[in-house]
């Protein structure tokens, strides 16, 4: 699936930059073009993969090039004053190849979280392709022990409402869920680890249908329409991901341990590998924790060497996901990797009706 990747604000631009870098490292390309929009010149200058001519500083009068420090009123004023220029900057990055526009943003901030809804509304009016949000939930509890709420928590609750209404679906990543004990999401090394965790999952999902057609093709290919149809449930979305290293059997042509070649795969081994990996992807840590029984639609993608993609096991995994979620709209497909040595499972769950962290941030905004 081909994306125009847009970064809004400091956090969003860093995520967009990592996705562009990840695209360059993959055989399956999923990024058509990219753009970064921010009120902080220093953060824009620190980007490494988004081209200089695709980086746009706005709100110079309101923010003086130094960001808005989480002040949504200043961020909104900056976005309003240059709404046409921001929309044009994104428009320049959208081409006929674009299947969807992915807008990355930190939900607790004041710049990106206020600019994105304004631009997304315009994009949905102009283009026939879907506009997805990729939002980062901040670490920490939305409510303190004394019942008070922080500015970041209130900002996040308001951003969830605004961006959820302005986009076709909102894919979330919860920093709190993925932080190690004693870690802080403000620490640069920890932040890099979190960003890597996120981009691995997002890149795997959107690259799944962009295989090298000179190599073996999936029996049931995952194309852009499968991803779009799954996201069409709208609302909150989350990704599950798991991989398992496999040992590919070999046999000797002369029985002497020489001239080894790849042997046949035992069906039981392949079935077990797919069963185990699919359960780890769905029951393990998602990008944001949800009530799995509140899912409306799902997409299960299995990747690995073609001989390991056992048809019965893949079908059984889809049936199991349908039972796990209660959804009757579970799609699936293959991502063959003839030279790979891992089984990879990607689970996209959309139309989520119950997400505890989202509910908590929305409540914080209501109290504020």
Q: Given this model, what pLDDT does residue 180 score?
A: 85
pLDDT average, residue stretch 313-334: 93
Average pLDDT over residues 280-293: 97
Which residues line the annotated binding site?
Answer: 110-112, 146, 175, 195
Percent of the chain with pLDDT over 70: 92
- Summarize the annotated binding site for GTP as residue ranges: 110-112, 146, 175, 195
pLDDT for position 219? 53
Into which CATH architecture does domain 3-207 fall?
Answer: 3-Layer(aba) Sandwich (3.40)
Mean pLDDT of 120-131: 95
C-alpha closest to that of 59 among 42, 43, 80, 45? 80
Rounded to 5 degrees, φ, ψ at 102 are -110, 120
Pairing of strands 342-352, 236-245: antiparallel
- How many Cβ atoms are within 10 Å of 266's Cβ, its own excluded? 10
Q: Is the pLDDT of residue 207 over 60?
A: yes
Extents of the domains making up the chain: 3-207, 235-352
Class of domain 235-352: alpha beta
Compute the mean pLDDT over every residue in the chain, rounded to the nearest whole number.
91
DSSP sequence for 202-219: HHHHHHTT---TTSPPPT
- Is the confidence at residue 258, as pLDDT, over 70? no
* Average of per-residue pLDDT across 25-39: 92
Asked whether the predicted pLDDT for residue 218 surpasses 60, the reply is: no
349 membership: H or E segment, kind and range: strand 342-352
Q: What value does the CA radius of gyration of the chain take, rounded to a whole number of Å?
A: 21
Are 252 and 294 within 8 A, CB to CB? no
Q: What is the pLDDT at residue 257? A: 53
Q: How confident is the model at residue 147 (pLDDT cuts 50, 70, 90)?
A: confident
pTM more than 0.85: yes
Quick one: pLDDT at residue 252?
46
What phi and psi values does residue 251 have, to the nearest 5 degrees? -140, 150
- Find the mean pLDDT for residues 328-341: 88
State residue 127 phi and psi, 5-degree precision.
-105, 155
Q: Are 289 and 174 in contact (CB under 8 A)?
A: yes
Give, for 137, the enclosing helix (H) or strand (E): strand 131-137
pLDDT value of residue 214: 44
**One fold for 3-207 and 235-352:** no
171 versus 255: which is more confidently predicted?
Answer: 171
Please name the residues in contact with 177: beta carbons below 8 A apart, sequence gap of 6 or more: 285, 288, 289, 357
Q: How far apart (Å, rounded) are the C-alpha atoms in residues 41 and 223?
A: 38
Residue 128: CB partners within 8 Å, gap ≥ 6? none
Q: Work out the average pLDDT over 336-359.
A: 94
Q: Is the pLDDT of residue 234 over 50?
A: yes
Does 267 score more than 70 pLDDT? yes
Instruction: Read off the pLDDT of residues 307-319 as tens digits, 9 standing for 90 and up.
Output: 888 889 999 999 9
Model pLDDT for residues 5-21, shown as the tens digit of each residue: 999 999 999 999 999 99
């Amino acid at each position: 699936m081909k994306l125009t990747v847009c970064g809004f604000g400091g956090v969003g631009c860093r995520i967009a930059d990592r996705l562009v870098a990840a695209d360059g490292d993959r055989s399956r390309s999923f990024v058509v073009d990219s753009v970064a929009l921010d009120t902080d010149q220093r953060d824009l200058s620190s980007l490494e993969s988004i081209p200089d001519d695709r980086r746009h500083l706005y709100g110079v009068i309101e923010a003086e090039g130094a960001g808005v420090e989480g002040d949504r009123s200043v961020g909104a004023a900056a976005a309003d004053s240059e709404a046409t220029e921001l929309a044009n900057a994104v428009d320049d990055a959208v081409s006929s190849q674009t299947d969807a526009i992915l807008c990355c943003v930190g939900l607790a901030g004041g710049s990106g979280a206020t600019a994105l809804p304004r631009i997304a509304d315009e994009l949905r009016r102009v283009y026939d392709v879907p506009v997805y949000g990729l939002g980062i939930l901040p670490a920490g509890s939305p409510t303190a022990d004394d019942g008070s709420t922080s500015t970041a928590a209130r900002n996040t609750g308001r951003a969830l409402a605004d961006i959820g209404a302005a986009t076709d679906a909102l894919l979330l990543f919860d920093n709190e869920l993925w932080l190690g004990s004693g870690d802080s999401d403000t620490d640069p090394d920890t932040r890099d680890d979190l960003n890597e965790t996120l981009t691995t999952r997002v890149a795997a999902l959107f690259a799944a249908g962009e295989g090298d057609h000179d190599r073996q093709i999936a029996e049931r290919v995952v194309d852009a329409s499968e991803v779009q149809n799954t996201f069409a449930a709208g609302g909150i979305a989350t990704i599950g991901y798991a991989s398992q290293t496999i040992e590919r059997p070999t046999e000797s042509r002369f029985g002497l341990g020489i001239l080894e070649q790849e042997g046949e795969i035992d069906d039981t081994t392949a079935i077990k590998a797919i069963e185990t990996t699919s359960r780890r992807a769905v029951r393990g840590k998602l990008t944001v924790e949800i009530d799995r029984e509140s899912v409306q639609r799902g997409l299960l993608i299995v990747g690995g060497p073609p001989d390991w993609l056992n048809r019965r096991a893949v079908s059984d995994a889809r049936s199991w996901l349908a039972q796990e979620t209660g959804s009757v709209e579970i799609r699936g497909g293959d991502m063959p990797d003839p030279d790979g040595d891992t089984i990879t499972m990607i689970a996209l769950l959309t139309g989520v009706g119950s997400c505890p962290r989202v509910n908590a941030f929305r409540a914080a905004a209501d109290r504020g």
